[in-house]
Structure 1
């Protein structure tokens, strides 16, 4: 793969991560309006469908294989349940932890789980051994999470020297 291609992929991954705190903060407000995190989760997922269907129709995607759908193992359908879990927990925790605290802790969980998934090659992933540098990177990330979450007083921000 060319360097430009890799740079594009890396940028898209950063964008994917950057939209999460926006989604969580917006959905937290939706929770207040709808009265419960599960109503906001449902609304968020319904909006996802409303946005996604016209895109799929415009791309003229063929229908998926019914043979695959009938033979796919149950674990392949768990992604939707994990999505509900993430969105609902974000709606409950973001107002209490703040955007940076929630996202930092969620990211720490993602990194640890990713190391395990890669190490064992679960769910068809390519095995990537859990080496000391990779574990050290996760430990450093978790240390950063602790700094982000536990060093800021509520309502206090950076103050410019004047």
Structure 2
């Protein structure tokens, strides 16, 4: 991968990361306005589902067949559940922890799970054993949360 390609992908990842913070803030504001975390989360998911439907139509993806669906694992169908955990947690926790602390904790959780998935090669993730630099990186993330929270 060349430097230009890497920088383009990295910029996209940074924008996606920023959108997570913005989504959490918008959803927390919606929760306060509606006085309901449940309705705020549902509205967020309906908006996301509509955006994805437009993306599928615009991208020109072919329609799924029963053979396509038969190739999936049962666990594949629970991705939305994990997203819902994130959305509800963000809605409930952002007003109490603040955006920086909440997202630092989310990133720490993401990194810990990523290291575990890498180490065991779970769900088709390429296997990369846990080593000292990775453990140090995780420790530094935890330290970062502490420093952000202080």
Q: Identify whether the pair has TM-score above 0.5, normalized to the shorter chain.
A: yes
- How much is the aligned-residue C-alpha RMSD, in angstroms? 1.2
Superposed CA offset, 1:58-81 (max 9, x none):
222211232131342211111100
**Residue in 2 that maps onto 1:51:** 51
Indicate whether 1:94 and 2:79 are aligned. Answer: no
How many residues were matched structurally?
Answer: 150
Structure 1 residue 43: Cα displacement: 0.3
More helix by share: 2
Distance 2:10 2:49 in 1: 26
Instruction: Give the gaps of 5 or more residues in structure 2.
Output: none
Identify the residue that residue 154 of structure 1 maps to in structure 2: none
Deviates more, 1:32-41 or 1:138-147: 32-41
User: Gapped runs of 5+ residues in structure 1?
Assistant: 152-162
1:115 corresponds in structure 2 to 115
- TM-aligned CA deviation for residue 83 of structure 1: 0.4
Q: Distance in 2 between matches of 1:83 and 1:129?
A: 27
Distance 1:6 1:33 in 2: 40
| Corresponding residue for residue 139 of structure 1 | 139
Q: TM-score, normalised by structure 1?
A: 0.88
Residue 65 of structure 1 pairs with residue 89 of structure 2: no
Deviation at 1:18, TM superposition (A): 1.2
Q: Which range is displaced more, 10-19 or 89-98?
A: 10-19
CA displacement, residues 81-137 of structure 1 (integer Å, 9 cap, x when unaligned): 000000001101110000011101111111111100111110000011111001101
Over 3 Å off, 4+ runs: none
